[in-house]
Structure 1
Amino acid sequence: MNNLSKPTQNWNIPPNRQDGGGDGNKWNFCYFFLPILGGAALHFIQARKSQKEREQVIAAQKMANREKEIELKYNIRENQHRRLLSRSESEKEKLKNKVQSYHQILSAQRQQLDEERRQLQEGINIEEKTQAVSKWESQARSLIKEFQDSLLTRQSSFCSSITSRNQRTELERKMLHQAATNPIAKELGIEADLNNIFKYETHCAGKLNKDKRENGRIMWVYLTYWRFQTKLKILENEADKLGKQDN
């Protein structure tokens, strides 16, 4: 083994050995290429770092573009919901004004009817006509009650997560058929009103609600409107009969 305390070799590198076989030239060659290799290594590290930074910038840009796309889609959907809500509120306001208008007409017709009935007491036999009007009114009330029950069932089905859409659609089809074929329903214009109800009525009281009457809003306005229409038709018929008798 080598005795490290007494080295036999000279570990120091002579600055320039000209008399021995060219060792100085070898070291001069190393001194010449070391800076070049170091510069190349530094350039390689910087290039890798720049590449990584570019990739990070591209990834950040993609993420920003994706966020903008999501925000744009959200704004479009929000605007659609706002327009639908605004249209629904407008329809409800029109219905409210329509009901109020018919209520005023009904009040005026009642006053006129009271006056005409006093005239009929002077020898006009109104029994048969009254019975016909009462029968029509009874049938109209019964029909409206039937539609009310169907609408309660339909809205309950709409608000239920169990009942299938096909069942609700079949019930709506039957209601529209009845409204289109029943003479009283045709007089009251129920078919067009049902289409509006099926299109805009979406109110549900809540998942835990067990009272069907708590569901719906627009349909209740239409039911009230149909009852006013029934009374108005009766008044118009009686007024028309009185006018014929005066002639």
Structure 2
Amino acid sequence: MNNLNDPPRWNIQPNHRGGGPGAEDGNQWNYALLVPMLGLAAFRWIWTRESQREIQMLKSQYENDVSIIRDEMETRYKDTITERRKAAALVELELEKERQRVKGYKQALISQSQQLVEERKKLQEERDALDEEKEQLVKSGAAGSLLHQALEKENEWHLRATSTLTELEHLLVERQSAYCSIILPREQRLEMEKKILLRAVKDPFVSQLNLELDLKDIFKRDKHCADLLNVDKRKNGSLMWVYLKYWQLQVTVQKHRRAEDALLGKTK
């Protein structure tokens, strides 16, 4: 058995002087193993240091890249927020302009409607005055007979002028329906407006009423449309109906004026 108190001497143990044969060989083996171990330890130390340096460099590069990406993302985010705020501000500005424009249209329409109502009232007063004058002339005998004859002659003009207004009413209803339609193209509506203006200007029975400016005012300002489920075209439009009543009164007044002019021409 091995003696634990006296273990065998290995070649890696220091050489004892006078240790007997083979003592010098053991010393050589000690140096032969020490050099590779030192080299391995130095290589490991150098490799570990270089690895730590590489790791540190990669870590620094990663942190730098992350910082750059973060800054770019923050910049893009701020730019996007700024652009969206600008876009929202522009939309709000345009919306406010449209609100002011609609408000102006409403005020203009109200003012125009009031003006038409006042003119209609004046025409009604003139008509009442003419009717009263007519009655007085009728009562006066010969003058009344002349007035009656003059009015009879103007009946044909009155009927044709009224018929023309009825046709214009139908055309305006169709035009307003085209304006309120989401299907018909805008060019078709504009073509209808041109035909209406041409008819009003060239027709000899209503050309004296100067309807061109009134029609252009309707095309510009009358934007009233019934709800989408509406099937009655006559529910569209607002200003045009006021004008149509005004034109009818004008035709009636014009009839009496023409008769009066004819009567005055005969008496002269």
Instruction: Report the residue type matching 2:35 in the other structure.
Output: G
Query: Post-superposition shift, 1:235?
Result: 4.6
Deviations 1:140-160 (A, max 9, x none): 221111100111122223333
Instruction: Report the residue type matching 2:228 in the other structure.
Output: K
Residue 9 of structure 1 corresponds to none
Instruction: Report the residue type matching 1:86 in the other structure.
Output: K
Structure 1 residue 135 corresponds to structure 2 residue 151? no
Unaligned runs of 5+ in 1: 1-17
**Do the aligned partners of 2:200 and 2:211 also contact (CA within 8 Å) in 1?**
yes
Instruction: Report the residue type matching 2:244 in the other structure.
Output: L
Question: Residue 209 of structure 2 is aligned with which of 173, 188, 197?
Answer: 188
What pairs up with 1:21-100 in 2 under 5 angstroms?
A: 21=36, 22-23=38-39, 24-30=41-47, 32-33=49-50, 36-100=53-117
What pairs up with 1:97-246 in 2 under 5 angstroms?
A: 97-120=114-137, 121-122=139-140, 123-124=142-143, 125-237=146-258
Instruction: Report the residue type matching 1:20 in the other structure.
Output: V
- Tell me the TM-score normalized by structure 2: 0.72
Query: Post-superposition shift, 1:177?
Result: 0.8
Deviations 1:179-237 (A, max 9, x none): 11123322222111212222233333233322111112222122122123223334544
Aligned length: 230
How far apart in 2 are the matches of 1:86 and 1:75?
A: 16
- 1:76–1:132: structure 2 CA closer, same or farther, 3 Å change rule? farther
Instruction: Report the residue type matching 1:207 in the other structure.
Output: L
Query: Post-superposition shift, 1:43?
Result: 1.3
How far apart in 1 are the matches of 2:259 and 2:120?
A: 18
**Do the aligned partners of 1:116 and 1:242 also contact (CA within 8 Å) in 2?**
no
Residue 20 of structure 1 corresponds to 35
How far apart in 2 are the matches of 1:81 and 1:134?
A: 48
**3-state SS, counterpart of residue 183 of structure 1:** coil
Task: Considering Cα pairs closer than 8 Å and 6+ residues apart, tell me whether 1 or 2 has the greater RCO.
Answer: 1
Query: Post-superposition shift, 1:128?
Result: 1.9
Q: Percent identity between the aligned chains? A: 25
- 1:135–1:187: structure 2 CA closer, same or farther, 3 Å change rule? same
Query: Post-superposition shift, 1:100?
Result: 1.8
How far apart in 1 are the matches of 2:183 and 2:44?
A: 90
Unaligned runs of 5+ in 2: 1-32
How far apart in 1 are the matches of 2:235 and 2:54?
A: 85
How far apart in 1 are the matches of 2:265 and 2:126?
A: 17
- Tell me the TM-score normalized by structure 1: 0.77
Instruction: Report the residue type matching 1:155 in the other structure.
Output: Q
Larger radius of gyration: 2
Query: Post-superposition shift, 1:33?
Result: 4.3
